[in-house]
Structure 1
Amino acid sequence: MPEGHTLHRLALDLNAAFGGRQLAVTSPQGRFAESAALIDGATLVTASAHGKHLFLEFDRALLLHIHLGLIGGLQIGPAAPPRGEVRVRLAAEDTVADLRGPQACVLRTPDEVARQVAALGPDPLRPDADPERAWTRIHRSNRPIAALLMDQTVLSGVGNVYRAEVLFRQRLNPFREGSRLSRRSWDAIWADLLALMPQGVTDNRIDTVRPEHLPELMGRPPRVDDHGGEVYVYRRHGQSCFVCGSKVRTEVLAGRNLFWCGKCQRRG
């Protein structure tokens, strides 16, 4: 599932391609045809993201709410006949954006979007993010910090990669209960997310290793993975930790595979 940096990058790309432009909106697949007709010919005011949710605001007091889910994708490119099951196509002259396989694709009013966002935790990529809201939920919970970081009502935009990597970088035991996490550790997690996630937006991939652990300095081959990026533990089960050499572990937590180093991550 795309993490928050992907949605923020898509919002930037949509604004660059279509911001302030009148759009032809269609549903080649047909499943969104009735709603598409309501915004066909409308002007895109702005595209924005909150966590894993993407919102396209039009000048008709309506917003297109998109959640890509596990298999969804949104591609922006030169105009061409639609291929595959395109739920929504946005078009302006020679540029189109095709949405395929989303978990959610629905028109909402501004009030409905406000209620949706109010139910989400703070997003480290948004300037209005308040880490105190997340901390309040975390330090009152007995759930593991690795589960809390994935809970979008606690913290928005953090997915499986960022949760594993930030906990490794902070040397934190992923099974540490939120109620037993120190405020200092939470502040360090938040600061790390503020550093890593904007870089993910810029690079359109997740890189988390520190300079001293880059392939060229360690004399190791670069990571080859569909998800891209240099990481410490994510999807490295059974491989040697770059820091201590012990084997990276994995276990299902909060419905997703958690990766961690049992030797390095002892804090807490």
Structure 2
Amino acid sequence: MPEGHLIHRHAAGQHADLAGRTVLAAGPQGRFDARPWDGRVLTEVEAVGKHLLYHFADAPTVHVHLGMRGIFLRYDDPGTSPRPGTRLRLATGEVAYDLIAPSRCEALTRGQVAALRDSLGPDPLRADAVPEQAVARLTAFGGPVGAAVLDQKVWSGIGNAWRAELLFLVGLHPDARGVCAETAGRLWDTAVRYLALGRDAGQVVSDPDAPCERWVYRREHCRSCGAPVLTWQLASRTAYCCPMEQPERP
């Protein structure tokens, strides 16, 4: 599933191409009726955690969640025929975007958009995120920190790859509980910094000097010290941890 850095990257690119323009909207697959948005001005493409919101003038917001299989295809020639399975096409005279296999593509009222926002924790890539709120939500979580950072109600946009690498960067064991405010603040600041690098690069970047490398995620040995990486199931996902760099404390 695309994590928050890629969702924000999608939002930035599509906003630059589409926002402020009248768009042609279509649902080639037949599973989404795009007529309410066809010929309307798209005012903003916004990322909130792992969610995309398309705001239109005088029309409901379109909510997209890519899920595990969703992708976007971009065409410099808007006359290019959409591929089979295209749920939604948004096009101008210069560019077209096709959305394929999302888990969600739906219309939301203003109240439903507000409810979606309220259901999500602070997003490290949003300028309106409040660090104190992020710290409070993490320290109030009763379970392991590795479960907390995947819980979109605590922080939004973090997925399994970022969980592994961010916890490594601050030396936190995924099973650690009772994280103090200072440590939660360091973890949040690390997320803000590194997710921005990932958004700009289009990939998880946990080492600016070696942006294609990972410290522990999907590695057999820690890239820092060479210790065997430990793995186990935590919050329904595989946790990765270096026993030397991220010692488990009683």
Bucket of the pairwise TM-score, normalised by the shorter protein: over 0.9
Determine helix, strand or coil for the equivalent of 2:69: coil
Supply the distance in 2 between the matched residues of 1:43 and 1:141 (Cα, whole angstroms): 42
Supply the distance in 2 between the matched residues of 1:92 and 1:18 (Cα, whole angstroms): 7
**What's the CA shift for 1:149?**
0.1
Q: How does 1:201-240 map to 2 (within 5 A)?
A: 201-209=199-207, 211=209, 214=210, 229-236=212-219, 239-240=220-221
Report the TM-score when normalising by structure 1. Answer: 0.88
Aligned residue in 2 for 1:167: 167
2:229 maps to a residue whose letter is V
**What's the CA shift for 1:210?**
5.5
Supply the distance in 2 between the matched residues of 1:192 and 1:23 (Cα, whole angstroms): 38
Instruction: Check conservation: 1:6, 1:201, Cα contact below 8 A.
Output: yes
Supply the distance in 2 between the matched residues of 1:198 and 1:142 (Cα, whole angstroms): 28
2:120 maps to a residue whose letter is L
Instruction: Check conservation: 1:27, 1:88, Cα contact below 8 A.
Output: yes
1:107 maps to a residue whose letter is A
- Post-superposition Cα deviations, 1:161-186, rounded to whole Å, max 9, x if no partner, equal 11110100111111011xx2122211
Change (3 A) 1:30 1:189: same
Instruction: Check conservation: 2:135, 2:188, Cα contact below 8 A.
Output: no
Query: Aligned to 1:184, which of 182, 185, 198?
Result: 182
Aligned residue in 2 for 1:223: none
- Post-superposition Cα deviations, 1:61-81, rounded to whole Å, max 9, x if no partner, equal 421100000111122222211
Instruction: Check conservation: 2:218, 2:240, Cα contact below 8 A.
Output: yes
What is the alpha-carbon root mean square deviation over aligned residues? Answer: 1.4
Aligned residue in 2 for 1:261: 242
Determine helix, strand or coil for the equivalent of 1:23: strand
- Post-superposition Cα deviations, 1:29-62, rounded to whole Å, max 9, x if no partner, equal 00002xx111111111010111000001000142
- Report the number of matched residues: 247
Determine helix, strand or coil for the equivalent of 2:22: coil
Q: How does 1:68-217 map to 2 (within 5 A)?
A: 68-78=66-76, 79=78, 80-177=80-177, 180-209=178-207, 211=209, 214=210
Instruction: Check conservation: 1:61, 1:110, Cα contact below 8 A.
Output: no
Supply the distance in 2 between the matched residues of 1:59 and 1:8 (Cα, whole angstroms): 22
Supply the distance in 2 between the matched residues of 1:42 and 1:187 (Cα, whole angstroms): 42
Supply the distance in 1 between the matched residues of 2:98 and 2:130 (Cα, whole angstroms): 33
- Give the share of equivalent positions with the same residue, in percent: 37
Instruction: Indicate yes or no: 2:56 matched with 1:58.
Output: yes
Determine helix, strand or coil for the equivalent of 2:44: strand
Determine helix, strand or coil for the equivalent of 2:55: strand
Supply the distance in 1 between the matched residues of 2:247 and 2:21 (Cα, whole angstroms): 53
1:147 maps to a residue whose letter is A
Instruction: Indicate yes or no: 2:229 matched with 1:248.
Output: yes
Instruction: Check conservation: 1:171, 1:267, Cα contact below 8 A.
Output: no
1:3 maps to a residue whose letter is E
Supply the distance in 1 between the matched residues of 2:58 and 2:229 (Cα, whole angstroms): 51
Supply the distance in 2 between the matched residues of 1:232 and 1:84 (Cα, whole angstroms): 39
1:263 maps to a residue whose letter is M
Instruction: Check conservation: 2:26, 2:35, Cα contact below 8 A.
Output: yes
Instruction: Check conservation: 2:70, 2:99, Cα contact below 8 A.
Output: yes
2:247 maps to a residue whose letter is R
- In structure 1, the gaps of 5 or more residues are 215-227
1:233 maps to a residue whose letter is V
Supply the distance in 2 between the matched residues of 1:5 and 1:137 (Cα, whole angstroms): 21
Supply the distance in 1 between the matched residues of 2:9 and 2:65 (Cα, whole angstroms): 14
- In structure 2, the gaps of 5 or more residues are none
Supply the distance in 2 between the matched residues of 1:50 and 1:115 (Cα, whole angstroms): 12
